[in-house]
Structure 1
Amino acid sequence: MGFFAARQPILDKSKSLFGYELLFRTSLENVFPDVDQEKATSKMIESLQFDLGLDRISDGKLAFINFTEKTLLGGYPELLPKQKVVIEILETAKPTKALYIALHSLHKKGYMLALDDFIHDSRWEPFYKLIDIVKIDYLESTPQEIYETIAAVKKYPNIKLLAEKVETNKEFKEAVELGFDYFQGYFFSYPEVIKSVTLTPGQTSIATLMNKVAEESPDFEEITKLFELDVTLSFKLLRYTQSAMFKRRNPIKTIKQAVLVLGKTELERFVGLLFSAQFSGDKPQELIRLSMQRAKFCELIAPYCSQRNNSSSAFLTGMLSLVDAMLDADLIAVINDLPLSEEIKSALTKKQGWLADCIELCQHFEKGDWQQMEATCERINIPYTNILEEYETAGVWAEEKLDELG
């Protein structure tokens, strides 16, 4: 049974990353069909320890992991390191004496505990002193249920509130005002307030470079001239080529030499890093990571779409797919102002073409919507298992590049 995991970011009030909820599924099977839940959980833990790697998939942040009542009673959480996980108690669990004893033991051993999709029920009140986080479904819960739950846990200072399924900045601000501490969802990947935006000369230069590098046969003379017109970009290019990964015997003496040393593939990545830095401003770092992961994922699946020679266009499309959130601007207005091919513009503004399919797959993966992802793969004739592996590869690449961005 092969395991794959998506992860959903959990941010704090300052929109800094606090942790990830890990969303698991088996390869080519829906959830855990015909598999005993305990056995499935055991396999999942084994996969975390030996295959997926807890540190790698959660990037050193807390990993929120769901456990059923049966697996909690079976002591499965203790197979994972207490300093790296938050044990989520699924809403299907019943507040029994046996469960209290199991959770009390985990609490005493230092594990963080969270009630998932929780609505206040007086039967759970004896458990509150053991709980660190209460997760409330902000989308599905009624205002009355949210208010009652907040009021019930307010007298327990050990409990932090986490709002799940926060999908807009308006909802984020409302949740902050209600007293929530953490927020799960992709609200940060949408513009906060749509406003008119004029690109700076530096942003325009980078957008032009991205488009030129994405061409099937880039004109390196023209790319060199674009770098030479911007002193800051030239400096960053020369510094980047000094990296130990570019082995060479002679020092770089000209911009053209630096461009040629990098070549098309590495230039594409370098300009992508510049884009993230220039366009993201003071946005959450998770937004930058997400745009970079989308870019790499789109590049990796281009060959599966019979577009092996267009992987650079795919990379660029993925990178630009969140530019509206980076600039707090209307996506169509921004994209139409950029020097991009009609194929890329059509994908981003009209959701048409194979590049739009790449972005759609990204979005399904981010939400852990396995059924829709599988349906999209079937529709566009892409092998499903390969896509899962490519997304994991893209995630590792994005983390590495984000570290380089510093």
Structure 2
Amino acid sequence: MAISVPADPASGRSGPKEVAVVRHPIADARNIVVGYELRFGGSIDLGDPAMDAKATSALLVEAFGDIGLETLAGRHPAWVTIARNFLVEIGPPPVRPDRAVLQIKAYHARDDLLQILQRLSRSGYTIALDEWEGDLGQNVEELMSLCSIVRVDISKISAAELPRVLRVPKMQGALLVATEVGDHAAFLRCQELGFTYFQGEYFAQPRTFKHRGVATAGLGSLRRLNELTSGEVSFEDLERIISSDVGLSLKLLRYVNSAFFSLPRNVSSVHEALSLLGVRTVRRWTTVMVLASIPDVPDELVSLGLRRAHMCEILAGGTTSEEREMMFTIGLFSVADALLDMPMADVLETLPFTEELQAALLRREGPKGELLAAVTAYERGEFPTLPVNDTRPTLAGAYRAALEWADETSRAIA
């Protein structure tokens, strides 16, 4: 169900459109998600000081009511940036204090905002100071005293300057969040500096490029993936591949018998699963489970791969089932380098993918690569537009559907 807002003439579509929203994970040092920052596109920008607060509030109520906070953030708090005029004119967003972290940009706060923040803090809301760069101008120190969390965009501050920037928040005892953490080297630096939480693309990047090849823990997975992606796998071949791995067989049977599939009877063997679901379906889920079972992989990374896979599949639109399956594979394997901790080029050398798939995954080339690029841009909160196509949904609609599906699937295969 779409959220109706005024049509955007520039979008190329007529009638109502959906509110674009994306969630960005915030994780601790063990890569366990502790919250999701919600970023809205189009008509909702809670952090824009020039916005129409009342109109934005109405859209926000619709967004939370229609999409549901459970879908957007699950059991975690939703981190939302709020502009001064929204708080002054409207108050807090329609979210319970225990389900939200309110982010306030670091700037010279007026007394009316400080009074509102004091009331919110007494009401149980957690307040985070966002985009802190070490400026102790008028009222900023008082603003910080109301914020138990301080967020620092490390991409905007040099490594030499970071200790100075962190001095005051550390003296205040604030919990430090590093944002825009681009890779594992930056993640490790931030850990050493005393950051507690981390946000950025680091978790979806390979941890090291020190050598060609893959860690021993991933060798078995690569062999399985090679067999599973080799052309047309027969019923007998797939049964042999799965049955030869006891752990994989048990995981597949547990998953097939879960509420996700809602089969009419309990499935007790790989042969029976293949007979009921078919080679294509079992092959897909076996591939997903091989990737998800690689040791020491963050759950959020598996969820990201599933979300991209389903979003790409949805956006393939009214093409053939083979094309949709190919787009699912491209989305799923777009995180294979991070899952296997090796460069994407090395991953693809070991897998029998076509030139078309390799070009899409390595260089975002061709129609399939361009579609993957649009999906990843949407994830970053850039909210691109796709050419008008009546056979496929909007990026916003595809993201929402993929988000819910990926979360449900992640729980089922855990």
Report the Cα offset of residue 293 of structure 1. 0.7
SS of alignment partner, residue 80 of structure 2: strand
- The residue type paired with residue 286 of structure 1 is E
Aligned equivalent of 1:60: 75
SS of alignment partner, residue 403 of structure 1: helix
User: Aligned partners of 1:252 and 1:288: how far apart in 2?
Assistant: 25
> 2:38 aligned with 1:19, yes or no?
no
Aligned CA distance change for structure 1 residues 260 and 175 (closer, same or farther; 3 Å): same
Unaligned 5+ runs, structure 1: none
Check the 8 A contact 1:273/1:401 in 2, yes or no.
Answer: no
Report the Cα offset of residue 189 of structure 1. 0.6
> 2:398 aligned with 1:390, yes or no?
yes
Report the Cα offset of residue 20 of structure 1. 1.2
Aligned equivalent of 1:349: 362
Aligned CA distance change for structure 1 residues 393 and 190 (closer, same or farther; 3 Å): same
Moved more, 253-262 or 323-332: 253-262
SS of alignment partner, residue 115 of structure 2: helix
SS of alignment partner, residue 78 of structure 2: strand
Aligned CA distance change for structure 1 residues 25 and 32 (closer, same or farther; 3 Å): farther
Choose which of 80, 94, 112 in structure 1 pairs with 2:108.
94
Aligned equivalent of 2:327: 314
Q: Deviations over 1:364-399 (max 9, x none)?
A: 0111012xx22xx13x96889622101111111110
Aligned equivalent of 2:145: 129
Check the 8 A contact 1:4/1:52 in 2, yes or no.
Answer: no
SS of alignment partner, residue 50 of structure 1: helix
Aligned equivalent of 2:281: 266
User: Aligned partners of 2:255 and 2:142: how far apart in 1?
Assistant: 57
User: Aligned partners of 1:14 and 1:241: how far apart in 2?
Assistant: 30
> 2:363 aligned with 1:363, yes or no?
no
Aligned CA distance change for structure 1 residues 190 and 273 (closer, same or farther; 3 Å): same
Q: TM-score, normalised by structure 2?
A: 0.85
Aligned CA distance change for structure 1 residues 259 and 133 (closer, same or farther; 3 Å): same
SS of alignment partner, residue 135 of structure 1: strand
User: Aligned partners of 2:116 and 2:19: how far apart in 1?
Assistant: 27
User: Aligned partners of 1:296 and 1:210: how far apart in 2?
Assistant: 18
> 2:186 aligned with 1:171, yes or no?
yes
Q: TM-score, normalised by structure 1?
A: 0.87
Moved more, 94-103 or 252-261: 252-261
Choose which of 49, 54, 58 in structure 1 pairs with 2:64.
49
Which aligned pairs between 1:188-337 and structure 2 lie closer than 5 A?
188-194=203-209, 195=211, 196-197=213-214, 199-212=218-231, 219-243=234-258, 245-248=261-264, 252=267, 255-264=270-279, 266-279=281-294, 281-303=295-317, 306-337=319-350
SS of alignment partner, residue 329 of structure 1: coil
Check the 8 A contact 1:69/1:94 in 2, yes or no.
Answer: no
Q: Deviations over 1:110-163 (max 9, x none)?
A: 100011112233321122221111111111134465333311122212x11111
Q: Deviations over 1:3-28 (max 9, x none)?
A: 2211111111222111111110137x
Aligned CA distance change for structure 1 residues 150 and 346 (closer, same or farther; 3 Å): same
- Whichever structure has more helix as a proportion of its residues is 1
Q: Across the two proteins, how many residue pairs are aligned to each other? A: 390
Moved more, 385-394 or 192-201: 192-201
Check the 8 A contact 1:32/1:40 in 2, yes or no.
Answer: no
Check the 8 A contact 1:224/1:255 in 2, yes or no.
Answer: yes
Report the Cα offset of residue 362 of structure 1. 2.1
> 2:133 aligned with 1:114, yes or no?
no
Unaligned 5+ runs, structure 2: 6-17
Q: Deviations over 1:60-99 (max 9, x none)?
A: 21111111111121243153210011111134x5321111
> 2:408 aligned with 1:404, yes or no?
no
- The residue type paired with residue 234 of structure 2 is D
- The residue type paired with residue 39 of structure 2 is L
User: Aligned partners of 1:316 and 1:52: how far apart in 2?
Assistant: 27
| Percentage of matched positions with identical amino acids | 28
User: Aligned partners of 1:170 and 1:253: how far apart in 2?
Assistant: 46
> 2:123 aligned with 1:104, yes or no?
no
SS of alignment partner, residue 408 of structure 2: helix
- The residue type paired with residue 411 of structure 2 is D
Moved more, 200-209 or 320-329: 200-209
Check the 8 A contact 1:206/1:271 in 2, yes or no.
Answer: no
Q: Deviations over 1:223-244 (max 9, x none)?
A: 2343344444344444444335
